[in-house]
Amino acid sequence: MAKTRTTLTIDEHVLTAVKVRAARMGKGDSAVIEEALRRDLGLDLLERLWAKNDLGEDEAMALAVEAQHTARPSKA
Protein backbone atom coordinates (compact mmCIF):
# COMPACT_ATOMS: atom_id res chain seq x y z
CA MET A 1 0.00 0.00 0.00
CA ALA A 2 1.35 3.42 -0.95
CA LYS A 3 2.10 5.79 1.90
CA THR A 4 1.89 9.58 1.90
CA ARG A 5 3.83 11.82 4.25
CA THR A 6 1.75 14.43 6.08
CA THR A 7 2.02 16.87 8.96
CA LEU A 8 -0.44 16.83 11.85
CA THR A 9 -1.04 19.22 14.69
CA ILE A 10 -2.28 17.26 17.71
CA ASP A 11 -2.51 17.72 21.45
CA GLU A 12 0.81 16.99 23.16
CA HIS A 13 -0.87 14.55 25.58
CA VAL A 14 -2.27 12.58 22.65
CA LEU A 15 1.19 12.44 21.07
CA THR A 16 2.67 11.25 24.35
CA ALA A 17 0.06 8.48 24.52
CA VAL A 18 0.89 7.51 20.92
CA LYS A 19 4.58 7.30 21.74
CA VAL A 20 3.94 5.22 24.86
CA ARG A 21 1.69 2.79 22.98
CA ALA A 22 4.15 2.57 20.10
CA ALA A 23 7.00 1.76 22.48
CA ARG A 24 4.96 -0.89 24.32
CA MET A 25 3.90 -2.51 21.04
CA GLY A 26 7.30 -2.23 19.38
CA LYS A 27 5.82 -0.18 16.53
CA GLY A 28 6.45 3.26 15.11
CA ASP A 29 4.34 6.28 15.97
CA SER A 30 2.94 6.37 12.42
CA ALA A 31 1.76 2.76 12.63
CA VAL A 32 -0.10 3.44 15.89
CA ILE A 33 -1.74 6.58 14.49
CA GLU A 34 -2.72 4.83 11.25
CA GLU A 35 -4.21 1.86 13.12
CA ALA A 36 -6.25 4.22 15.33
CA LEU A 37 -7.53 6.15 12.32
CA ARG A 38 -8.41 2.96 10.43
CA ARG A 39 -10.27 1.65 13.49
CA ASP A 40 -12.12 4.93 14.07
CA LEU A 41 -13.05 5.31 10.40
CA GLY A 42 -14.23 1.72 10.21
CA LEU A 43 -11.69 0.86 7.52
CA ASP A 44 -10.40 -2.22 9.34
CA LEU A 45 -13.91 -3.66 9.50
CA LEU A 46 -14.50 -2.98 5.80
CA GLU A 47 -11.21 -4.65 4.87
CA ARG A 48 -12.09 -7.74 6.92
CA LEU A 49 -15.52 -7.91 5.29
CA TRP A 50 -14.08 -7.48 1.79
CA ALA A 51 -11.52 -10.22 2.48
CA LYS A 52 -14.35 -12.63 3.38
CA ASN A 53 -16.39 -11.69 0.32
CA ASP A 54 -16.90 -14.70 -1.91
CA LEU A 55 -19.84 -13.35 -3.92
CA GLY A 56 -19.61 -13.01 -7.66
CA GLU A 57 -20.28 -9.64 -9.25
CA ASP A 58 -23.83 -10.61 -10.31
CA GLU A 59 -24.72 -11.87 -6.81
CA ALA A 60 -23.30 -8.73 -5.19
CA MET A 61 -25.25 -6.51 -7.58
CA ALA A 62 -28.48 -8.41 -6.88
CA LEU A 63 -27.98 -7.97 -3.12
CA ALA A 64 -27.26 -4.26 -3.57
CA VAL A 65 -30.41 -3.75 -5.65
CA GLU A 66 -32.47 -5.71 -3.12
CA ALA A 67 -31.08 -3.57 -0.28
CA GLN A 68 -31.96 -0.40 -2.17
CA HIS A 69 -35.52 -1.54 -2.77
CA THR A 70 -35.90 -2.53 0.89
CA ALA A 71 -34.54 0.79 2.14
CA ARG A 72 -36.58 3.04 -0.14
CA PRO A 73 -40.05 4.03 0.98
CA SER A 74 -42.77 2.43 -1.11
CA LYS A 75 -44.73 4.65 -3.45
CA ALA A 76 -48.42 4.54 -2.61
Q: What is the pLDDT of residue 6?
A: 92
To the nearest 10°, the Cα dihedral for 33, 34, 37, 40? -100
To the nearest 10°, the Cα dihedral for 13, 16, 18, 20? -140
Which residues form the domain of 40?
12-71
Q: Is residue 35 part of a domain?
A: yes
Q: Is residue 5 part of a domain?
A: no
Q: Is residue 44 part of a domain?
A: yes
Q: Is residue 20 part of a domain?
A: yes
- Inform me whether the pLDDT recorded for 16 exceeds 90: yes
Number of domains in the chain: 1
Query: What does pTM read for this prediction?
Result: 0.59
Q: Is residue 3 part of a domain?
A: no
Q: What is the pLDDT of residue 20?
A: 97
- Alpha carbon 62 to its chain's center: 25
Q: Is residue 31 part of a domain?
A: yes
- Inform me whether the pLDDT recorded for 74 exceeds 90: no
Which pLDDT band, with edges at 50, 70 and 90, does 63 fall under?
confident
| Structure confidence by residue, pLDDT tens digits, 19-58 | 999 999 999 999 999 999 988 887 777 666 667 777 777 8
Q: Is residue 64 part of a domain?
A: yes
Q: Is residue 55 part of a domain?
A: yes
